[in-house]
Structure formats: structure tokens, C-alpha cells
Chains A and B, each alone.
Chain A
Amino acid sequence: MAREFSIVGKPIPMVDAPEKVSGRAVYSIDDCVPGMLYGKILTSPHAHANIKGIDTSKAEALLGVRAVLTYQDVLPIAIKQLKVLSSKVQYVGDEVAAVAADTEEIADRALKLIDVDYEVLPAVFDPEEALEPGAPELYPELAPGNLYYRMSRTKRKGDVEQGFMESDIIREHVLSTFPQAVVPHGRLCAIAWWEGDRLTVIDSTQMPYKVRAKLATWLDTPLNKVRVIHKFMGGGMGEDNTYRYYGIAAYLAKKAKKPVKVITDPVYHLVGSAKKRANAKFYLKVGVKKDGTIMAFSTRHIWDKGSDSSGGPGYVWLAGLEYYECPNYFDESFGVLTNTPPNGAHRGYGYPEVLWAQEVMMDRVANALGMDPLEFRLKQMQAERSKRPLEIAAERMGWKDKWTPPSSKTGTKRRGIGIATVIGWSSGYSHYPGSSAMIQLLDDGNFYLEAGISDTGTGSKTTMIQVAAEALSVNVEDITIASGDTILPPDVASQASRVAVCAGTAVYNAAQDLKSKLFKIVAAKLEVKPEDLDVKDGKIFVKASPDKYKTYEEVAEPLRGAEGYQAGWGTQVVGELIDINPISVQVAEVEVDTETGEVQLIALSDVYAIGTALNRAIALGQLSGGVACGFGYEITEDIIYDPTTGAVLNSSYLMYRLPTMVDIPTLDLVLYEDEPNPCTPYGQRGVGEPSVCAAAPAINNAIYNAIGVSPDGNPTTPQKILRLLGKI
């Protein structure tokens, strides 16, 4: 079914890999500009407090300190919670003040000399408590009762009450997820400087244009006076949409009248990213017929939005309701503000939470029916396209031989097999526009591609070159890309698995635009019509007589004198077509030690319906990375809050356990190149996020299969397992 292309799909190495393997790749923390000062940020020890006063005199008197920034230096803007610094702190770790000094050490020392007079306020950490009358309110005017408006909605279909009446079995569960920290390696760091009224910021960000927009708002500066430069980035994964460190850098640079490099501490990064994935609580109720047909599904979910209502998912419904072709459902969602770090985005943007709950619930229902969870899922689906990846994954893992009911397992170490299937999203070509690109033909027949996307490490520079090379029918080496800078053709952000789809379409359109211009020129020279021409292997030729042609070089060289330089422009717009979304099906096999409570992942297969992979090796990297992130979500990672102070207790990388190479076995990763996506030039779909979503519930379901119980909330720690087994 897969379509073959000359360059698209080929697993060519990343074009920027030589810089990365030789230490020449410059991330913002590695960068410097002449005369630069070092900036550090003071954070709040309180979860909720008014700043009654700040005495910065001692810090300012310290030799080498050039500027101290407090909320008094920050311009008022309409939306209070978006301010760079505020007179109210909303979580332990919230920004209070900042210092710019000659060295990082002096800046650190100066922070200790700032005296802050806090009026400590009552705080609330649990979203359900935050909804109770009389709970402390974070934004009484914007979000009365702590209810975050964008998140509080309902969605319904059919008649749920009738559906439950017609059901033979009804299961109810309360499932919850924890706030997984993002923590990619790259240290959050920005260098800012002013030249007159023009601001330039170097920031390893996946969204330079959004950072530019925020800086323009914060500093009341027009967009054309702000430039944001992304060079290399130590992983994106969504996290940077609620941080303020780059705003602090811009303000410090303005106050100190010198470039300032703000270097954040690892704890700032870990705590600040600890709520990007929300902790969510799901009240689920499912009614089924004895034969396994789902009759009704109702769910009420409560999302902890943390202390900032500006970021994070808007509304996320239980994504499987339509996929499972459920006739009657009711879905109600609440977003609630609490005195914890701001909720934001983390590889999946709300979907890992809902899909975890949905897929764990599906297995609970299947087990109540005494049905094989694979058969139970297949029964709900009519579309061949939904069923096939399930069948492939099950077959590859030997599901038929390995799956036996939990009651059949004995022994100290028990093996189990579990499945989860998620329908992802393809970055919403049809509803999420915002990419553009330009391709210039150079004098020697080579090309220069400019695209605003920032390569977060996913290889998008490489895949965009592959799209352009395929469209122009030239070699990858003939194209050089410039990306990740707001002086380039704009792009909304490298997020939401949208780059392959949206930026890929823009780059393709730019190539088509350039070709159409060149065809007109060549047609005149060869005395044919432009529609008589085609291009192959760098030659624009007459279709009827291929020996009549002009190479790109032959076209390029005389252009300067006659028609002038040629470039193609491409943009991606909202189309009429609807994406065919990707599907990730994962089957996991685990071994649970019933004495220690430890879980070992034995094997895992991820079958990913991708349509077309732009670069198969890069796409496989996204699958392995997604599974590793999902594994951490289910097994190793955890955020532990102090219930009395709201501080993150394990706010260090030694105590926040990221998955390592010995945790994750070699995975069976399958790119299932099924029906192409009709919205994209080569049929590609997004690939960055859905694999995160299926891994965690597949592992949870495998644990259930091994021991007959699984925790109602992730992560599955040894303690939770031993408690479920009645051993502690």
C-alpha cells in the first residue's frame, strides 16, 4: 500500500547530525554575545502570597551586580496572570525577582541578598478542594471559584440514560493520572539584548513566533522590533509555553543596558515543567451488553490547571468515543486552578491523560465481561482501518498464545500481556493552519529553503529538505535549509505533531510555486507551453521529447539579467479535506515480581498507521521516543507534592527517575504505511505524540493481566503493586 518516492521516506541521516556528534551544535546555554551579563531568577518559597515589599538594596550594592528586577519594573498589561513578574506568587517556584551581574556566581549570591516581605495566603493544591465553596481563589475576577473556563465543557451523543438501561453490565471506576514532568535535557536559557528599540533574543525554543508575540506584549514593543532566534534545542516536547525566563532576560537587558543571559536552575526547570502534563481525575461509567457491545459511556473529568490559566490544553474529550463507535455518550470536563505550577503542554497535550483513562477502563470492562481485551476492542470497531493495526500488533506479539485470563497466573514472577489503541491527531491540517516556506533558486542551480519551523531535535530540518527535494526532483545535498528564526517565513510552532503535515505542505507548495515560475521561463526558451513540461533528476524537460530540457543550473545562471532571481512561496491553509488521523496500537508484555512489586517491560510492539513516513528512520525515532516517554509515565516517573506546603519534594534529577537504557528493551516498532492522508502532498501524518499515549495504558493493562489488579492511578510504583496484592 505504501507509495514509493525517490527521496521521501528514505532513512537519510539528519542533516545537522555532524554538528551534534562533534559538539559544535550551539544550544542557547552554550551561546554568548559580547559584553553579556548573567541573569538568575529568585523563586518563591510560598505557594500563595502577596509580596508586601522587596528590599533589593543589599543585592544592588554587591560588586558586579548591574540590575535587579522586581514586579515594580514590569509594565502593566491587561491580563494579570501573564505578567513576567507579579506582586502575587501562585506556587512554590513562581518567579519573584531577578538579577543581572558580571558572573553567574555573583548573580546567585545577589539573589540571597534580596529581602522579600511575603504576606502568606491560604493555598489550595487539590482541584476538587479548589472547587468547594470558600476555597482560596487564584484569580477571583478572571476565574471565579477557580473554574478555568476554556476547559469546562460538555459533549454528548444519543441518550446515555437509555443506553445504561439497555446494558447488561455497568462498570464504574475513578481513575487518575499524575503530572509527569517534561524535563528535556536542554537547560532553559535565553540571551536578550537591545539595539535602540529593537530586541533580539536567542532562546532554544520550539515556538520562536509565540515567544516573539509574548515578548512584544510583555515589553509593549511592535512585532517588527522583536527577533527570536532558535539554533539547536535540547528537546522540545511542548514545555515552553508557560515559562517567563525569556521575558525576564529581555527586561534585565533593558534595565542593565547590556546583553543578559538568563540561566535557569535545574530545579526551576523540573518544578516549572512538573505540571505541564495535568493531573486529571476521571469518573467513568460504562454500560455493555453481555456480547461486549458498548451501550453507554459517561465520564466526568477534573483537570488540574495549576496556577496559570493561560497555557495548557483547552478542552480534551475522551478521544476514543467516536473511534469505538459508541452510540450514547456524555462527557463533562472541568479545568480547575490550584496553587501548583502552571499546566501547559507535554508531548500529547492532554491526550495521554484521557487516553490512559479510556484504555485502562476498556480493559476493566473487558475483564468484567470475561472477554479477551483484544476481541472486546475489535468488537466495537466497524472500520477496517481501525481494526487492522490491532490485528498486526497482536499477531507480532503472539497475543493468541500469550493471552490468558489473570486468574490463570501463578508463581512469584508473573507475566502479563496488555493492549491499548489510540487514535491520534495529525496536527489538524484541517483546523490548525500556520506554516509557510520559501525556496530560492541559486545561481549554480542549488536551492536555499527557508522555513520558520524550529527543529526541536525531531529531524524536521531533514524531513523538510526531503519534501523539497522530492518536489523539485533534486538531491538532498542540493538544498540547504535555514529555520527557527522569526526573520524567516512564519510558522506558528513546532508542536502538536504538526510539522510533517503543516510545514511539509507549505514547503511542498513553495516548491510547486517555484517550479511553475521556472516552467514558464523554460517553456518560452524551448518554445512549448508550461504544461508540456515536467521535471526529473534536476532537468526540466518536454514531456513529449525528453531530450529537450534545461537543467536548473542552465535556468538559473541567466536569470539575473533577464527575468530576475526566482523564488517560490508556499503557505499552508485550512483545507476542505479532513485528516485521516494516525493510529498507534501497542501491545506490551511485562513481568511483575509479586514479592518486590517491580515491573519489568519484557517486550513491546508499536504499530503506527502513518500513511507515509517522510523519513522512516526519523519516524521510528519518534515511535521509540514516544514509547520511552509513555513508559516513564507508567512506571518510573512521579511527582511528589508536599500536601501542606505544595512544594515538589522530589525536585531533583536524582529523585525524578527518567527512564534509562536498561529500563527499556529493544522495541518492535512498525510503520504501517496505510491509506495516505488526503490533506498532505505525500500522504504523511503527524508522528511525534500518539505513541506516548498508547504505551502507558498498554503497560498498565499488561500488569492487570499479570496479577489481576492494577492501580487506579499512574505511575505504577512497587508500593502500589504490593498494596494491591495485600503485601503491605
Chain B
Amino acid sequence: MAEEEKLPEEKKKEAGGISRRQFLAGTGLVIGGAAIGAGITYPLVPGKVEVIKYVCPIDQMEFSTFAELQAHFAVVHSELPAPAVEELIRLTINGFTYELRVEPNWTLAFVLREKFGFTGVKRGCDEGACGVCTVLMDGKPVLSCTILAIECKGRAIETIEGLAPDAVTLHPIQQAFIENHGLQCGYCTPGVILVTKALLSENPNPTEQEVRQALAGNICRCGDYQQIVASVLAAAAKIKGG
């Protein structure tokens, strides 16, 4: 993976285009047994001459190739995970196409919130236990805190911000939640509403039990569960009623 991603920059370099960029290697995340690095990139300035310089974040030593930095890590900072490079991904969020260079350990939640400002994606337990970060990926609910952005290439993501048809009108599900008091503090609400949307698109007439099963992964510490169930059933009726 890392090898492929170096290609565009290597090519640029060969073509004489050089830009100055710093690379910060980072804490690792172990996936499938292989440690991959993390870090922050400063965006490329289009049309500028590039000088590629890989800087060790621990001791500020400079290297001209990424492989040299990796080797330096293996020898000098063996206690830390090896650094890795970012990758360019393209995804659709709420109907609009976005392109971004992502680090391999960036979660989808991180990218949606911190890179694109979709703070309706809530940050909760960071381990897939609470459900507040739920978004729809190709129409299915997923926990964006445990999915890597790099895995979402080409996918269609829907966040709570994309639900309402326009800035003034709310979606019938949102209306049903307001009218039926299906929320208190509101922190679980975006996730709950997105799961509801996925449920109702598959099953427009859910029973109470089916609603509870669908939402079993969305914790509401305010304990508004029966009001949420009532809201989902009211939303189903609203959508059917046209």
C-alpha cells in the first residue's frame, strides 16, 4: 500500500516538480498484525516547486526518502510504530464528492468531523460500543469510529447533516422525533435517526420489537428509549402517509 502511494510523488520528483513538505510520523494502530504509522500532513500548494523532506518528529533528523525515515525509526525509535504515508481517497458525503489525503490510521469519524466539519457525527466511546458516531455507508449503518477512512474509497456516506432535503425543511423522521420527544440531550440522536432511516428503507412497517432490535446498539444514557420507539413508529406512519 505504502509503495503504491509513493508513486505520484516520486514521479513528480523525477519530473523536476518539487514542493516543501514536512512529514510527521506517528503513533501506530495495529491492523491485521502489521503496524502502520500515523501523522499529519501539511497540504501541498498547487503549482509550487516541491522539496520532499521527511522529518523525524522525535529528533528532527531530516531524510530525503521515506524509506530512510522508516529505517531510522527501526533503529533509533524501535519502541514506536513505524511511520506510514497517507493516501488520496475520494468519497461522497451527503451527495457531494470530496477528495482528501488521509493517514492510514485516520478513522472515518475523524475525517468527517475534523477534516470536513460534519460534527453531527458524534464522538463517544471511540470503540464501537455506544453508537453515537453512526453514519450510513451505501445506505447501511456503520460505526464511523471503528472504520478507517482509507477503507471508504468510493463509498457514499450519509451523515445527519444530509438528511433534511433543504435548510428549512426537516425529514419526516426528524419531525417525528421532535413531535414525540424522542430525544433529551440529543447526543445519541443523529445515530438513532440514521439507523431509523436505514431500518425504514428496508422495513417500512416495523414492529416495536424490530425497532428495538435495530436500535439495540445505540445507547441513550438519558433513558429515552420508549419515546424513541414511539418516534420511529410515528416516522414510519408519516412516511407511509406521504
Contact = CB atoms under 8 A, between A and B. Distances in A.
Nearest to A236: B185
B76 to A, nearest CB: 13
A662 B212 contact: yes
Interface stretch (A115-123, A307-315, A438-446, A618-626): A618-626
Determine the main DSSP class of A at the interface with B: loop
Interface in B179-202: 179, 181, 183-190, 193
A654 B129 contact: yes
B71 to A, nearest CB: 20
Interface string B95-129: 00000000000000000010000111111111111
Contacts of A459: 184
Contacts of B84: none
B178 A628 contact: no
B27 A105 contact: yes
Interface in A59-103: 61-64, 102-103
12 contacts: A21-B186, A29-B123, A63-B60, A186-B187, A266-B125, A457-B184, A621-B184, A624-B224, A653-B130, A662-B212, A662-B213, A664-B223
B163 interface: yes
A661 B212 contact: yes
Interface stretch (B6-14, B44-52, B147-155, B214-222): B214-222
In order of increasing CB-CB distance, the 4 nearest A-B pairs are A23-B120, A457-B185, A628-B223, A20-B186
A24 B162 CA distance: 11
Contact of B57 (A64, A458, A617): A64
Contacts of B70: none
Interface residues of A, number: 68
Nearest to A20: B186
A240 to B, nearest CB: 14
A625 B184 contact: yes
A625 B188 CA distance: 14
A141 interface: no
B208 interface: yes
User: Quick one: which of B38, B178, B226 has the most chain A CB within 10 A?
Assistant: B226
Interface of A: 11, 13-14, 16-27, 29-30, 58, 61-64, 102-103, 105-106, 108-109, 112-113, 183-187, 232-237, 265-266, 456-459, 617-618, 620-621, 624-629, 652-654, 658-662, 664, 666-667
Given A108-B27, A235-B185, A625 B216 contact: no
Determine chain B's interface SS by DSSP, over half rule. loop
Contact of B170 (A22, A103, A186, A266): A22
B24 A22 contact: no
A30 B119 contact: yes
A23 B38 contact: no
A225 to B, nearest CB: 30
Interface residues of B, number: 64
Contacts of B129: 652-654
Given A109-B27, A625-B222, A20 B183 contact: yes
A526 B113 CA distance: 59
A24 B57 contact: no
B132 interface: yes
B179 A63 contact: no
Contacts of A617: 181, 227
A661 B124 contact: no
- Pick the most buried of A102, A456, A660: most chain B CB atoms within 10 A of its CB: A660
**Interface centre among A29, A232, A625, by most B CB within 10 Å?**
A625
B223 A22 contact: no
A24 B120 contact: yes
B142 interface: no
Contacts of B27: 105, 108-109, 112
B100 to A, nearest CB: 16
B187 A266 contact: no
A186 B189 CA distance: 12
Contact of A184 (B122, B185, B225): B185
Contacts of B120: 22-24
Nearest to A456: B185
A184 B221 contact: yes
Contact of A23 (B124, B160, B179, B208): B160
Contact of B222 (A13, A23, A113, A621): A621
Contacts of A21: 160, 170, 174, 177-178, 183, 186, 189-190, 193
A271 to B, nearest CB: 13
A102 B55 CA distance: 16
A629 B38 CA distance: 39
Contacts of B58: 58, 61-62, 113
